[in-house]
Homo-oligomer: A and B are copies of this chain.
Amino acid sequence: MPSHTTNRKRRVTQADVARRAGVSTAVVSAILNPNSATGVRVSPETAERVREVVRELGYTPNPIAQSLARGKRNILGVFTYEPVFPSERGNFFYPMLRGIEMQVSGAGYDLLLFTSVQTEGQPRKIFAGGSNRLGVADGAILLGQEPDPSEMERLADEGFPFVTVGRRHSSRVELNWAAAGYADATAEIVLLGHEKGHRRIAFVGSATIREQQLDREEGFRSAMQGLGLDEGPEWCWHLDPDKLDAAWLQSLLANGVTLVLAETLEHAERIEKLLGSRGMSVPDDLSMAVLGTPLEDTRRITRWTRFEVPREEMGREAVRLLLAQLDGRVTGAAQTTLPCSFIPGETLRRVAPAH
């Protein structure tokens, strides 16, 4: 017998109600879940009597027990590999969470935020103490810049339904995701640059490679190839902003580059500063575009030619995919790529084609 270290006064149980009303628990259950097509029928009088007792005793069903019995929880998990609210990262998750909450509420699910961390300072883990923590939920949405691929594979092996926000890839299992179309958006900017006369276009991304960046780079490469533009490896850089220096810029310009696609605003601003110390400016001496939109400092970004990532819509779509999976409405892998919206800005200008 469980000890039940409950300090709360014992809650009223279904059996209490049944006893009091002089019926069986099956009847009580049937009355409380009218829509569930169970074989149990109840007369209106009995129903009223039971309802009366329910009110009198202030009975409220134990959701845990319901879940166990039904095999269904009506809870969607949200697992973030980084803290949700603390400031820096907070802004990042915020729009996605907004999308998730909007889509989930109305579907009759609640959101379980897995916030607990095992060891202070350690990265969060889904499998802690051998147990899948997400298991309380019917399914989960995974967010975060630095997910653990092995955990996701194990999750998939278990058959636990989940969807990631952002594209993820595994060679072993099929992953479900709602992601932004970085590749297309990047390609679009390359095409636009080409239209505006640019022929030598460079790409600058962070040193730490993430799925997102791969997408952007792949969009860049394929667009360049499609246009028959001569793009060598020397036009595609993986450097953090602080690694960009005068010498680097020099070689870039010497190569005749007229348009630079910067992965982040930090890259772009760094390059602009370097240009400035040579007496040059954007876009007069060099056109630029930013491959995304930061969340903080919304004012600083406005002049830049860029695209907007549909973060909120990614959250919504992730929920849609997950619910479809839970309803059994879907069989294979569900993957959605959502378009980014181009924002003209003022940093990409027309030039005379070089050749």
Contact = CB atoms under 8 A, between A and B. Distances in A.
Contacts of A71: 2, 4-6
B112 A116 contact: no
Contacts of A60: 127, 130-132, 135, 158
Contact of A109 (B94, B98, B116): B116
Q: Which of A105, A107, A132, A328 has most B Cβ within 10 Å?
A: A105
B113 A113 contact: yes
Given A60-B131, A85-B94, A130-B54, A106 B112 contact: no
Contact of A61 (B85, B116, B131): B131
A226 interface: no
A98 B7 CA distance: 29
Interface string A47-67: 000000010001111111101
Contacts of A326: 7
Contact of A117 (B63, B74, B106, B328): B106
Contacts of A62: 68, 135
- Which of A85, A154, A161, A326 gathers the greatest number of chain B CB atoms within 10 Å? A85
Determine how many copies of this chain the complex contains. 2
Interface in A96-133: 97-98, 100-102, 104-117, 120, 127, 129-133
A113 B116 contact: no
Contact of A136 (B4, B75, B100, B115): B75
Contact of A63 (B58, B94, B131): B131
A105 B130 contact: no
A353 interface: no
Nearest to A158: B58
A70 interface: yes
A157 interface: yes
A52 to B, nearest CB: 12
Contacts of A158: 11, 58, 60
A64 B61 contact: no
A104 B113 CA distance: 11
Contacts of A131: 32, 60-61, 63
A110 B115 contact: yes
Nearest to A331: B7
Given A108-B116, A110-B112, A110-B115, A101 B130 contact: no
Interface of A: 2, 4-9, 11, 32, 54, 58-65, 67-75, 83-87, 90, 94, 97-98, 100-102, 104-117, 120, 127, 129-133, 135-136, 154, 157-161, 326, 328
20 contacts: A5-B72, A9-B159, A32-B129, A58-B158, A60-B135, A61-B135, A63-B136, A64-B135, A65-B68, A75-B112, A86-B101, A101-B113, A109-B116, A110-B112, A110-B113, A110-B115, A110-B133, A110-B136, A111-B113, A111-B114
- A-B pairs, top 3 by smallest CB distance, nearest first, are A85-B98, A60-B132, A111-B113
